Chains A and B, each alone.
Chain A
Amino acid sequence: MANKGTEIQIGDGSLHIGDRVVYPNQGICRITGVEVKQIAGRDWEVVTLSREEDGATVMVPRAKVMGIGLRKVASVAAIDDMFDQLAAPGDDPQLDWKVRHRENADRMTGGGLQGTLDVLKGLHALSRVRPLPQKERELYDSARHLLVGEIAAAMNLPLHVAEDNLDYALWPPPGMKRKGRPLLPAALPVPGSSAVAARPASRAADDEMDDEMGFGEVDAEGSGEPKTAQVADTEESDIADPTDTKDLVRQRAMRVTAEEEEPEALDELAEDALEATHEDAAVQPSAKLHAPPGTTRPQAKRGPAPAAAEEPKREGARPAGSEAAHGVARSIAAKALEVAAKVLAPARPAAKAPARPAPPKAKPAPPKKAAKPAPKPKKPIAKKPAAKKPAKKAAVRKPAGKGKR
């Protein structure tokens, strides 16, 4: 290992030990020396750099210093020119994912100030149209980090001031001017076109982010996604680089799943709701049979009474399983009918019985009917046989009414 003097020239002669340089994709470094390292049995002359951000040591073969794009920190004039470009209105973002990805990757590996600026500006413009995918979000952050570091290093400013100035150009606050020319103040991104607001339900991948952020619904105009974003979505689906596909494929899969499922889910929900309404009515008797007495509510309070046509079926079905349970009711009914039979004609109750309305009315009904026809029959001869027939029906009907309650 040999640490040579500061007069040693590195690369094309423009770099010296102690200089602050920009290492592509790594940030601001300081050249700490030139060393000879034995690697794989060979002596390599390497330039050692110390990354200012975290003090990490980077070693670059001396012969490759210029090849990897190592360069001096930009001058103040270059930074000033860069701010002019940042403040100028940008072009439309490149929507072809493949082209954009290739161009941005080339620019970042090149390591030039202009390249990094183009990446940042292009992705910033795109972010105004639609949220960036994960990989591009990382690239955007990386480009921003490199530029902030270089501005701070070139102009000897704190990092925070450098970043604020960068965003004074990208998101101009009211009253901001650049070389005497007022800049258009930053506006809130149009709902539905930017990061978060009002995306269709099918954008499950992006909505997932919203959910995780814990944001509520945004006051959206419901304009949906712009065509540009939809085009970009479709273009993203075929990505050349397999390493980049993981996140996007996952997002796309979620999107597709959501697109397939959600419309159906709405229909199903509606159908289920309808079915449930009918099922409720169908299930009621059996469900109520298991309910303890007195806990069920009158049918009238739960909604419209089931159709009269349903009643005979239930009546027919019930006695088989519930004779014992309704024995008391039956005996009461029998007694009541015995009394009623004294005054009732045999034909009348039999004819009226099927036409009777909802069961809750069954209890008060017999006395009324008994009261009305009472004066009509003159000879209550066939008391007992007449009483037996309606008694069966009434006995069946009354438990049914109770069971429903």
Chain B
Amino acid sequence: MIRLVTLGEFPSEVLEHVARRLHAAYGMGCEIEGEAELPESALSEDQESYQAPKLLEEIDDETQLYADDKIVYLTKAPLTAPEGPMGKGPLTGFPQFGGGRAVVTSHGLGGKGELPLDVGLAKRAAHHVGHLWELHHCYDPRCAMHPEWSPGFTQYPEVALCLYDREKSERKIKLGQS
């Protein structure tokens, strides 16, 4: 089961769209759990964005995480992550790779050259849920696992996985604990 928890207000139709797309992409149940609050302790030094790994650690959320459940937190706030050898790059979300929780931001969606809020959020969420199932980035621009900053990600708004990633995710889901 994929559980959606909002960290801020989102239109209900957007949430329903995201839930439907996630369900279609992974063949798993997806439900909207409710709302939680952004942990202030995860605010970065500039006080404008949230440190994503810290946010996931310190979020005060009562949602129970059973066996193979995946929890996706949706926020409008910009996120940051530790800098790697390539420096700072765009960040649309942060998953615990192979784990159970991911945070996805709608920051920047609906702008010029970006996908609309509902479509973009659904695709970003599907991308990061894929990382929760240990899927890596895919070179296919139509796959939801294509790098989210690449032009292909916005060019193809459909939330779909390529055959390889779909089979891999299905295998992971079947082999899951539950």
Where the two chains meet, the residues of A that have a C-beta atom closer than 8 Å to any C-beta of B are 53, 79-80, 83, 87, 124, 127-128, 131-132, 134, 137-138, 140-141, 144-145, 148, 151, 155, 157-165, 167-169, 171, 173-174, 176-178, 186-189, 194-196, 209, 212-215, 218
Measured between beta carbons, the chain A residues less than 8 angstroms from B151 are 186-188
Contact with A along B76-109 (1 / 0, CB 8 A): 0000011011110111001111100000000000
- Least distance between A395 CB and chain B CB atoms (Å): 66
Chain A interface: which of B36-44, B65-73, B114-122, B138-146? B138-146
Q: A160-B131, A213-B163 are in contact. Are A168 and B140 (CB under 8 A)?
A: no
Please tell me if the beta carbons of B155 and A168 are within 8 angstroms of each other in the complex.
Answer: no
- Choose from A79, A127, A212 the contact partner of B163 (Cβ within 8 Å): A212
Contact of B95 with A80 in the complex, beta carbons under 8 Å? no
> Given A144-B137, A215-B158, does the pair A160, B142 have CB atoms closer than 8 Å?
no
A195-B142 in contact (CB<8A): yes
Please give, as numbers and ranges, the residues of chain B lying within 8 Å of A177 by CB-CB distance.
87
Task: Find out whether the CB atom of A167 lies under 8 angstroms from the CB atom of B147.
Answer: yes
How many angstroms from the CA of A128 to the CA of B138 in the assembled complex? Answer: 12
B residues engaging A (CB < 8 A)? 53, 81-82, 84-87, 89-91, 94-98, 131, 136-137, 139-143, 147, 149-152, 155-156, 158, 160-164, 166, 168
Cβ contact within 8 Å between A196 and B141: yes
Q: How far is the CB of B145 from chain A (nearest CB, A)?
A: 10
Interface of A is mostly: helix
Residues of A contacting B147 with CB < 8 Å?
Answer: 164, 167, 171, 186
Q: List 16 A-B pairs, Cβ < 8 Å.
A: A83-B85, A124-B139, A141-B136, A151-B84, A155-B84, A157-B82, A159-B98, A160-B97, A161-B81, A161-B84, A164-B81, A165-B84, A173-B89, A174-B149, A196-B140, A218-B142
Q: A157-B82, A167-B137, A194-B141 are in contact. Are A213 and B87 (CB under 8 A)?
A: no
Taken together as a complex, chains A and B put the C-alpha atoms of A87 and B163 apart, in Å, by: 28
In the complex with contacts A160-B131, A171-B147, A79-B85 CB distance below 8 A: yes
Number of A-B residue pairs at CB separation under 8 A: 121
List of A residues within 8 angstroms of B90 by Cβ: 173
Beyond A160-B95, A161-B82, A177-B87, 14 additional contacts (C-beta under 8 Å) are: A53-B98, A137-B164, A158-B96, A160-B94, A164-B91, A168-B87, A171-B149, A173-B89, A176-B86, A186-B151, A188-B151, A194-B140, A196-B140, A215-B160
Distance, CA A158 to CA B150, complexed state (A)? 21
A209 B162 Cβ-Cβ under 8 A? yes
Chain B residues near A134 (CB-CB < 8 A): 164
Q: How far is the CB of A358 from chain B (nearest CB, A)?
A: 53
Q: Complex formed: what's the CA distance from A212 to B143 in Å?
A: 12
Cβ of A145: which chain B residues have Cβ within 8 Å of it? Answer: 136
Q: Which residue of B lies closest to A123 (CB)?
A: B139
A375 to B139: give the CA distance in the assembly, Å. Answer: 91
CA distance A194 to B162 in the complex (A): 13
Are B136 and A176 in contact, CB atoms less than 8 angstroms apart? Answer: no
Chain A residues positioned under 8 Å from B162 (CB to CB)? 195, 209, 213
A183 to chain B: closest CB distance in Å?
A: 9
- Which of chain B's residues have a CB closer than 8 A to the CB of A157? 82, 84
With CB as the reference atom, state the residue of chain A lying closest to B90: A173
A188 near B82: Cβ-Cβ < 8 Å? no
Q: Is the CB of A195 within 8 A of B140?
A: yes
CA distance A209 to B160 in the complex (A): 12
Complex Cα–Cα for A161 and B162 (A): 23
Q: Do A213 and B160 touch across chains, with their CB atoms under 8 A apart?
A: yes
A188 touches B131 (CB 8 A): no
User: Given known contacts A157-B84, A187-B151, is B53 in contact with A163 (CB within 8 Å)?
Assistant: no
B96 to chain A: which residues have CB within 8 Å?
158, 160
The smallest beta-carbon distance between B39 and chain A, in angstroms, is 18
- Cα(A157)–Cα(B140), bound, Å: 26
| Other-chain residue from A148, A155, A176, A188 in contact with B89 (beta carbon distance below 8 A) | A176
Q: What CA separation (Å) do A138 and B162 show in the bound complex?
A: 13
- Please provide the 9 A-B residue pairs with the shortest distance between their CB atoms, ordered closest to farther: A165-B84, A159-B97, A168-B86, A173-B149, A195-B140, A127-B139, A165-B86, A209-B163, A188-B151
- In the complex, residue of chain B having the shortest beta-carbon distance to the beta carbon of A79: B85
Given contacts A141-B164, A187-B151, A214-B158, contact A158 B137 (CB under 8 A): no
- Centre residue among A53, A141, A151, A178 by max chain B CB count within 10 A: A141
